[in-house]
């Protein structure tokens, strides 16, 4: 007979597959970084947030913390290793010493935090319920930060007028991952996993991406309108300039005619001997 546990296991496996795709979705980004030998303007914040998030969920899923959650351990353990690879590539190809130092310091701080948390919780608390509540609460906070981390590049997207630095598949599979883990947590109710899937607002990234596209589209339309106005003004000035040049040419021609006429009149009024005296080499008129 198909039991609730069987359903939970199947949904958990589906969730693991989607989560694995989520963890692997930045691969094209890092292939590009590897080829360019530069991280360009990409941010390490999403990967740092995912690293600490996976570490906390690994602790949460341990049998001595929250029994019957091995699927949580397996996928988040895999994600932990993948994020370490991503951050290593980021550090290797970051050309800014300051950025590299900040990322390395953040990784070190996260490792110290996870180690200290595991040590304190496992030694100072003696029931799985208490351990689950402590680590589960921290995991929820980290999960929300992970889903919100792509918003850190909002300013960059608007400045560059491009969503290049906000990978679409990362946002899409974050959304699908949240749905699958919410379903998993509802079969055997787990408030922390419910918030992990739904409370973390996995759809926020897709919404923010849509907002960014709308903002950029509006900016492009404004630029087009402003550009059209500038072109119209330039055309008007060019036409005015051509008219002024024609007027100047007409005035020059008139001045030349007047000058020639005056010279002719002056020459005609002089005695003949002065009009052409070859001995002096002077010719007038």
Residue 267: inside a domain, yes or no?
Answer: no
For the chain, the average pLDDT equals 75
Q: Measure Cα distances from 235 to 225, 239, 240, 246 in Å.
A: 15, 6, 8, 17
pTM of the model: 0.63
| Residue 280 pLDDT > 50 | no
Number of domains the chain is built from: 1
Q: What torsion, rounded to 10 degrees, do the Cα atoms 58, 59, 61, 65 define?
A: 170
Residue 229: inside a domain, yes or no?
Answer: no
Residue 124 pLDDT class (50, 70, 90 cuts): very high
Residue 94: inside a domain, yes or no?
Answer: yes
Residue 245: inside a domain, yes or no?
Answer: no
Residue 115: inside a domain, yes or no?
Answer: yes
Residue 241: inside a domain, yes or no?
Answer: no
Instruction: Tell me what the mean pLDDT of segment 105-117 comes to.
Output: 96
> Rounded to an integer, what distance in angstroms lies between the CA atom of residue 190 and that of residue 71?
14
- pLDDT tens digits for 49-59? 889 999 999 99
**In contact, 70 and 16? CB cutoff 8 Å:** no
Residue 102: inside a domain, yes or no?
Answer: yes
Both tokens of residue 32?
């590009």
pLDDT for the residue 179: 79
Residue 272: inside a domain, yes or no?
Answer: no
> Rounded to an integer, what distance in angstroms lies between the CA atom of residue 142 and that of residue 147?
9
Both tokens of residue 26?
């930045």
Looking at residue 277, what DSSP letter applies?
E
Range of the domain at 130: 4-202
């Amino acid at each position: 007979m198909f039991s609730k546990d069987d359903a939970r296991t199947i949904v958990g496996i589906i969730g693991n597959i989607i989560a694995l795709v989520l963890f692997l979705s930045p691969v094209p980004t890092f292939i590009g970084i590897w080829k360019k030998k530069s991280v360009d303007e990409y941010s390490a914040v999403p990967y740092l947030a995912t690293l600490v998030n996976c570490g906390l969920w690994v602790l949460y899923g341990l049998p001595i913390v929250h029994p019957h959650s091995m699927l949580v351990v397996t996928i988040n353990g895999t994600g932990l290793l993948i994020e370490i690879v991503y951050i290593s590539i980021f550090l290797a190809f970051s050309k800014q010493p300051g950025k590299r130092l900040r990322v390395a310091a953040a990784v070190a701080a996260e490792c110290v935090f996870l180690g200290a948390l595991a040590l304190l919780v496992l030694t100072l608390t003696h029931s799985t319920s208490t351990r689950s509540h402590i680590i589960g609460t921290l995991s929820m906070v980290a999960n929300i930060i992970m889903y919100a981390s792509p918003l850190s590049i909002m300013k960059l997207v608007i400045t560059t007028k491009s969503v290049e630095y906000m990978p679409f598949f990362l946002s899409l599979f974050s959304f699908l991952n949240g749905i699958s883990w919410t379903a998993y947590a509802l079969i055997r109710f787990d408030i922390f996993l419910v918030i992990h899937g739904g409370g973390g607002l996995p759809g926020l990234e897709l919404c923010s991406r849509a907002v960014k596209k709308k903002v950029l589209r509006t900016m492009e339309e404004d630029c087009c309108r402003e550009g059209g106005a500038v072109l119209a003004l330039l055309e008007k000035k060019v036409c005015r300039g051509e008219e002024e040049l024609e007027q100047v040419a007409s005035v020059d021609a008139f001045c030349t005619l007047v000058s020639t006429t005056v010279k002719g009149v002056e020459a005609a009024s002089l005695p003949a001997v002065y009009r052409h005296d070859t001995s002096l080499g002077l010719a007038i008129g």
